[in-house]
Chains A and B, each alone.
Chain A
Amino acid sequence: GAVVSQHPSWVICKSGTSVKIECRSLDFQATTMFWYRQFPKQSLMLMATSNEGSKATYEQGVEKDKFLINHASLTLSTLTVTSAHPEDSSFYICSAPGTVSYEQYFGPGTRLTVT
């Protein structure tokens, strides 16, 4: 089946620094990837749609200058949290749609803690 990986699986950073999270489709190409954020005991909320070779589409209320998305290849999308603050601490999950079925394939998630 289709596999999506994320790196790192967890990261701790200091307030004011930037953190980059990678999302890779390992055995298929993904022209589109999605980035979700999940706070403790809450649902997954879509942050943005990453489009290979073009600008990302951000959901309402998501600061595009704070959450930089780059989809430089058909297998890699990156999310950079700039000037991170404690309120950015969350579980970040990416997904990519399969090429055959309607199924979305999720990465294992990245736990970000900002101190």
Chain B
Amino acid sequence: GENVEQHPSTLSVQEGDSAVIKCTYSDSASNYFPWYKQELGKRPQLIIDIRSNVGEKKDQRIAVTLNKTAKHFSLHITETQPEDSAVYFCAASNFGNEKLTFGTGTRLTIIP
């Protein structure tokens, strides 16, 4: 089955700086890669996603890049703000409607 690794497990950045979280996946058949933000006790919230036919996608301060050959994808958050502090999970699935395999999570702390 699919295996998704995520690094780093914790990340602290100064407010205004950029944060990068990286994930690798094992199943070359995976073609949908969402990123989620989860606050304590809440459901995961989709912040951006990318399909395998696209190399990069951007939405305001958030961007995701995908390297299919290397089987890795990354989340980039620019101009970080205190409200970006949360746990972030990457995930991978096949055909988009199949089960998601989650990464281990990154606790992001923005230092004011």
How far does the alpha carbon of A97 sit from the alpha carbon of B49 in the complex, in Å?
A: 14
Query: Does the CB pair A102–B43 fall under 8 Å?
Result: no
- Are A108 and B43 in contact, with the CB atoms below 8 A? yes
Which residues on the A side are within 8 Å of B34 (C-beta)? 102-104
Q: Which of B41, B43, B101 contacts A106 (CB 8 A)?
A: B43
Q: Which A residues from 38 to 84 make CB contacts under 8 A with B?
A: 42-46, 49
Interface 1/0 per residue, B31-73 and A, CB below 8 Å: 0101000000111101001010000000000000000000000
Q: Are B104 and A43 in contact (CB under 8 A)?
A: yes
- How many A-B pairs fall under 8 Å by CB? 49
Q: Which single residue of chain B is at the shortest CB-CB distance from A96?
A: B97
Q: Do B103 and A104 touch (CB < 8 A)?
A: no
Report the nearest A residue to B43, measured CB to CB. Answer: A106
CB of A32 within 8 Å of the partner chain: yes
Identify the A interface with B (CB < 8 A): 32, 34, 42-46, 49, 91, 93, 95, 97, 101-104, 106-109, 111
